[in-house]
Structure 1
Amino acid sequence: MSKHDAFADVGKTAVLQNIQGTMHFLLRYAPFNQMELGHLAQMVEQCRLRFYAAGDPVVGPGDGKIEHVYIVKQGLVLGQRPALSGDAMETTQEIAPGECFPVAAMVSERATRSHYIAAEDTFCLQLSRAAFTHTYNQSEAFRDFALRGVSSLMGQVQQQAQLQAAETLGAQYSLETQLNILVAANPVTCRSGVSLRDAVRLMHEHHVGSLVMIDDNGYPIGIFTLRDLRRVIADGSGDLQQPLDELMTRDPIHLPPTATAFDAAMIMTRRQIAHICVVEKGRLIGVLSERDLFSLQRVDLVQLARTISAAPRLDTLVELREQIAHQIDNMLAHGANPEQLTNILTLLNDHTVARVIELMIEEHGDPGVPFTWLVFGSEGRREQTLLTDQDNGMLFEAASIEEAERIRQRLLPLARQINEALDRCGFALCNGNIMASNPELCLSRQEWLRRFGAMIQSPTRDNLMHSSIYFDLRPVWGPGEGCRQLQEALLQMIEGNELFQHMMAANALRHPPPIGRFRDFIVASRGAEKNTLDLKVEGLMPFVEGVRILALAHGIDECNTLERLRLLGERGVLKAQDAAAYAEAYHFIQLTRMQLHQRQERDGLPLSNRLDPDTLNELDRRILRESFRQAQRLQNSLSVRYQL
């Protein structure tokens, strides 16, 4: 072998080792770990390694249409843009090893809008436009990432969480399954005028638990179930010749075939019904029973909700509450996302609260006064997790101050009984005494209006803090009309008060997201909380409080944060893409928080919102950091909007 050939072989070996080393590096990060190895290898072959000293520009708006995409291999790159409030530059991105830039500009074939600068000595893999295009066309995983950015990785995180839960539960089906897949064809039906005898015979012959009455067009006008039959027999109110029209449930709940198993689960749980009709183009095409849904899915939400609502004693409720953590594991294994999980938790919590109120009235006597049980804060927003305390109050109608005081004195003993019973059920007593047993929170509608008006007219620190709790409210038990009128009046008062809006926006900035200037999270430095951050206060609250003020200022009466974001995007208060980015970031922080609670619950630890970010894998750390960055963007936009 000649010396030239020997050097050539050494060179080929070095190149091969370099390619293998680079692939090994990239396979630690998404989306590269989702790519086919052949596609990744071809991409790596086209990469060049570039070095940038600290402070060196990598690429910027003045460089024209983007010709290269960069992947940080070692070091840190900052993405910076002119601050909205002046000429200074603000960091909008921190790009760590395994992350790419500027992908969106490459896809759009334009110049980047950001200045990318090395924050420290940095090595980047440089991918040319031709190589990027080739990889984009070859790899679906890479193309999805190029089009959707970090948000495309959320599905991977959700899938990991689902698989972890499924390992324990052995689940095989997803709550995203459409009803047209779950329902059997040819539902058993009848027409108006059929007798009870014939209806029961039909159900027996076809081995079904329900019979749907349809009109001449095939539309469901009523449903009769085995539960209805038991009621008729128990009441002794029907004979076998009686027309089914007089015994059935009219106008049964129905969903389209494109609805999901989760949609059906929520309706069954909320209404405590066992059957849902599936209707397409005005015709009945199937009937979904709770047995079809939950024996298949191994999720017994309807049964749990029904048992909670019928619990004969408080001790029974306490025992039932212990099943909820297991249900969350179940739902996660079946593909439920954080929004669905918090909706489920809130729904089960609502059933518990309602039953506690009923049990306390049965045990201690009816006060003889109509009242509405209000919930505030996370429960008011339908955003509860396993860790929750009480934020509640009472609303009633009174014609005068004297009558209000008389009613209050009748209701307060019951309120104390309810608060104490809820504490036994796992809803911790509020340290700030934001509970209905507090005379200041057991008020007539006019008193609530005066209290809310005082908060808005005098936005002191305490009033701002209280408004951030009380202005997310909804009724859980009792008449809902008074609460609706209260919310309408609240929106009218806020809409015309620019000073209060300004002060509330400033209040929304008091919890900055826990991200440092360079890469690291900001964590507690001492005490029992050392090396941890608070996912609720520092992660979720910047979104909750920022979105709340925008919603209230623009007359949106919805309390749920994600629904507020959707409506703000639809109405143009926020750019649609910003609203979507904020929603995805909020989703991820909430998912991380719920997974933390699940681990704590399984390990027998007290529930806490404090997380050590070093316990996260690289993908979760990356998306959590980006999610906090979105919270920072929202706070920056509030600062500019309200000139703070």
Structure 2
Amino acid sequence: MPGSATDGARTMADKAMALETRGTCAAETPPMDRLLSTLVREPVTCLPDASIASVLQTMHRYAIGSIVVVDQEQRPIGIFTLHDLLSRVALPQRNLTEPIAQVMTRDLTTLPPKATAYEAALAMVRHGIRHVLVVDSGRLIGVISEKDLFSLQRVSMRQLSQDIKNADSLESLKQFSAEVRTLAQSMLVQGVAAEQLTQFIASLNDLLTQRLIDLEFRQEELGAIRLCWLALGSEGRLEQTLSTDQDNGIIFEPPAGTTPEAVRERLLPIAKRINLALDACGFPLCKGDIMASNPQWCLSAAEWRAKFAAWIDSGSPEALLHGSIFFDFRPLHGESRLAAELRAWLMSRVCTNRRFLHQMAENALRNRPPLGFFRDFALDGSGEHRDTIDLKLNGATLFVDAARILSLQTGVPATNTAQRLRLSADKMGIDRDEVESWIEAFYFIQRLRLRNQHQQNLHGKPMGNRINPYALNRLERHILKEAFRQAKALQARLALDYQVAGSG
């Protein structure tokens, strides 16, 4: 953890876990974990007043597919690519004497030199682009292209995302879903950090779900109905692992003169087909029926506000359980405005409700890190799970629950656990090193979960979250104990903030 004696040990443990997963003794940096500063190629640039003709001559001379447009101080203001040449110059038959500024792409995606190749690949997947600019203190120092990353990664992540977007059938999406899982396991084997890996999984799963919804809705005539498909739970937090079911809902806005019941009756059959299609793609139906095809979770904006208000006012165990799932909602498809407005209303309703936040904290603190006397592990003592611990319930969830409460308290709208902790801590004046220790502990546990699921899958076993910590090597056990200690420290802060007795 940063600022602690275990900092070096944690790094060594991450490497050891990656090496064990790969089944090799090599200690090289995984290719996609390399810093962009070690990969970046010298940029070819031009000024905004350069003519289109001169820019094309430069691109031809250097045999490149893009050129960055910069100002006099080497600050990037645009990029011109072969795609721009076709769509903005050739097809419209633009005059080649015009300045390149007239046809360049102005919406740039940039990363710092210390970012990794995976962060660049993730940006390409999310934004559907082929080039990322590497910028230091506002000045351009290089360009990373999809081709550069492809040389490091055998599977083109952007190509997979494009294939998903262009899929025209459920059968195609089932195939691409399997490829997402294969790619995720390949990334795990290469030693990719858990934070990046879970975001990759969630981002590609988002694209797949969005395409499924597109295919279903294009067959329907919904008229003036405005709706948004909501991702809940781990998907809402962008924290999906290799084994994840589906949690989702719908928020809609009934057209004038139409009742919520009538809209719901129209949407439920479509939602059912989407849920079944997701199941066919490897996202099992939720055992608790937290799905958009359940009438309870296909609601108008007013009904969602009433539902949340009832949970907040009640504070019952069931209400607190629902809070742990539904407070993590994120818009996935459709009118994101509806989700944003619900989030704004929810934050204003909760952040001043000290009683409800206290109840949430009290409920979260009932789940303790599995540490026994002398800081040894406290294992389940009987039944089919004897001598194991649940890395999700008694590990990751400790951080997820605390981060949710802190974000509600501080009015932070983010749903991702790491983002919630960082942004809430900034507002609360918590030391950054302390926060990063919590986050690294959380992602160490997440990586253990991912590796465990990968190994279970390799051996044809159901993927789950239980491990025997004594099956880990000594270094990993040490780091896992430290991770649980960090969870205990985070819970201690929560207990102090909300004066929860008996939680030390």
Normalised to the residue count of structure 2, the TM-score between the two structures is 0.89
User: What is the identity, as a one-letter code, of the residue corresponding to 1:204?
Assistant: H
Q: Which residue of structure 2 lines up, in the alignment, with residue 238 of structure 1?
A: 93
Q: Is the 8 A contact 1:221 1:250 kept in 2?
A: yes
Q: Go from structure 1 to structure 2 and tell me whether the alpha carbon gap of 1:152 and 1:355 turns closer, same or farther (over 3 Å shift).
A: same
Q: Which residue of structure 2 lines up, in the alignment, with residue 613 of structure 1?
A: 469
Moved more, 623-632 or 400-409: 400-409
User: What is the identity, as a one-letter code, of the residue corresponding to 1:307?
Assistant: D
* Structure 2: tracts of 5 or more residues without a match: none
| Cα distance between partner residues in 1 of 2:412 and 2:156 | 35
Q: Which residue of structure 2 lines up, in the alignment, with residue 313 of structure 1?
A: 169
Q: Is the 8 A contact 2:250 2:298 kept in 1?
A: yes
User: What is the identity, as a one-letter code, of the residue corresponding to 1:436?
Assistant: A
Q: Which residue of structure 1 lines up, in the alignment, with residue 36 of structure 2?
A: 179
* Structure 1: tracts of 5 or more residues without a match: 1-143
Deviation at residue 200 of structure 1 after TM alignment? 4.5
1:391 aligns with 2:242: no
Q: Go from structure 1 to structure 2 and tell me whether the alpha carbon gap of 1:550 and 1:278 turns closer, same or farther (over 3 Å shift).
A: closer
Q: Is the 8 A contact 1:325 1:601 kept in 2?
A: no
| SS of 1:481 mapped into structure 2 | helix
1:642 aligns with 2:499: yes
Deviation readout 1:573-625 (Å, 9 max, x if unpaired) = 65555433322321221111111011112222211111122321112122222
Q: Go from structure 1 to structure 2 and tell me whether the alpha carbon gap of 1:499 and 1:420 turns closer, same or farther (over 3 Å shift).
A: same
1:161 to 9, 13, 17: 17
Deviation at residue 537 of structure 1 after TM alignment? 0.7
Percent identity reads 40
User: What is the identity, as a one-letter code, of the residue corresponding to 1:194?
Assistant: S
| Cα distance between partner residues in 1 of 2:159 and 2:192 | 18
Q: Go from structure 1 to structure 2 and tell me whether the alpha carbon gap of 1:519 and 1:213 turns closer, same or farther (over 3 Å shift).
A: closer
Residue correspondence of structure 1 range 89-100 to structure 2 within 5 A: none
| SS of 1:148 mapped into structure 2 | coil
Q: Go from structure 1 to structure 2 and tell me whether the alpha carbon gap of 1:172 and 1:513 turns closer, same or farther (over 3 Å shift).
A: closer
Q: Which residue of structure 2 lines up, in the alignment, with residue 585 of structure 1?
A: 441
| SS of 1:223 mapped into structure 2 | strand
1:597 aligns with 2:453: yes
| Cα distance between partner residues in 2 of 1:317 and 1:226 | 29
Deviation readout 1:435-481 (Å, 9 max, x if unpaired) = 11112211222211111111101111111110111111111112322
Residue correspondence of structure 1 range 347-362 to structure 2 within 5 A: 347-362=203-218
Q: Which residue of structure 2 lines up, in the alignment, with residue 89 of structure 1?
A: none
**Bigger relative CO (Cα 8 Å, ≥ 6 apart):** 2
1:223 aligns with 2:87: no
1:460 to 278, 291, 316: 316
Deviation at residue 176 of structure 1 after TM alignment? 4.3
Deviation at residue 219 of structure 1 after TM alignment? 3.8
1:624 aligns with 2:497: no
| Cα distance between partner residues in 2 of 1:407 and 1:237 | 43
Q: Is the 8 A contact 2:291 2:297 kept in 1?
A: yes
1:370 to 199, 215, 226: 226
Q: Go from structure 1 to structure 2 and tell me whether the alpha carbon gap of 1:255 and 1:512 turns closer, same or farther (over 3 Å shift).
A: closer
Structure number with bigger Rg = 1
Q: Which residue of structure 2 lines up, in the alignment, with residue 531 of structure 1?
A: 387
Q: Is the 8 A contact 2:31 2:152 kept in 1?
A: no
Deviation at residue 186 of structure 1 after TM alignment? 4.4
1:304 aligns with 2:160: yes
Q: Is the 8 A contact 2:43 2:67 kept in 1?
A: no
User: What is the identity, as a one-letter code, of the residue corresponding to 1:182?
Assistant: L
Q: Go from structure 1 to structure 2 and tell me whether the alpha carbon gap of 1:259 and 1:283 turns closer, same or farther (over 3 Å shift).
A: same
Q: Which residue of structure 2 lines up, in the alignment, with residue 451 of structure 1?
A: 307
User: What is the identity, as a one-letter code, of the residue corresponding to 1:508?
Assistant: A
Q: Which residue of structure 2 lines up, in the alignment, with residue 209 of structure 1?
A: 65
Q: Which residue of structure 1 lines up, in the alignment, with residue 396 of structure 2?
A: 540
2:423 to 567, 577, 580: 567
| Cα distance between partner residues in 2 of 1:624 and 1:221 | 46
Deviation readout 1:412-438 (Å, 9 max, x if unpaired) = 222111111111111111111111111
User: What is the identity, as a one-letter code, of the residue corresponding to 2:204?
Assistant: L
| Cα distance between partner residues in 2 of 1:297 and 1:333 | 12
Q: Is the 8 A contact 1:165 1:329 kept in 2?
A: no
User: What is the identity, as a one-letter code, of the residue corresponding to 1:389?
Assistant: D
Q: Which residue of structure 2 lines up, in the alignment, with residue 481 of structure 1?
A: 337
Q: Is the 8 A contact 1:524 1:531 kept in 2?
A: yes
Q: Is the 8 A contact 2:225 2:254 kept in 1?
A: no
Deviation at residue 375 of structure 1 after TM alignment? 1.1
User: What is the identity, as a one-letter code, of the residue corresponding to 2:499?
Assistant: Y
2:413 to 554, 557, 578: 557
Q: Is the 8 A contact 1:299 1:331 kept in 2?
A: no
Moved more, 160-169 or 465-474: 160-169
User: What is the identity, as a one-letter code, of the residue corresponding to 1:495?
Assistant: C
1:418 aligns with 2:274: yes
| Cα distance between partner residues in 2 of 1:549 and 1:560 | 12
| SS of 1:484 mapped into structure 2 | helix
- Aligned-residue Cα RMSD (Å) equals 2.9
Q: Go from structure 1 to structure 2 and tell me whether the alpha carbon gap of 1:328 and 1:552 turns closer, same or farther (over 3 Å shift).
A: same
1:265 aligns with 2:265: no
Q: Is the 8 A contact 1:472 1:559 kept in 2?
A: yes
| SS of 1:486 mapped into structure 2 | helix
Deviation readout 1:495-543 (Å, 9 max, x if unpaired) = 2222211211121123222232355533334443232221101111122
1:522 aligns with 2:378: yes
| Cα distance between partner residues in 2 of 1:384 and 1:499 | 31
Deviation at residue 289 of structure 1 after TM alignment? 0.7
1:471 aligns with 2:327: yes
Deviation readout 1:340-391 (Å, 9 max, x if unpaired) = 1111111111111111111212345556523111111111111111111111
Normalised to the residue count of structure 1, the TM-score between the two structures is 0.71
2:51 to 164, 170, 194: 194
Q: Is the 8 A contact 1:422 1:428 kept in 2?
A: yes
| Cα distance between partner residues in 1 of 2:131 and 2:442 | 34
Q: Which residue of structure 1 lines up, in the alignment, with residue 197 of structure 2?
A: 341
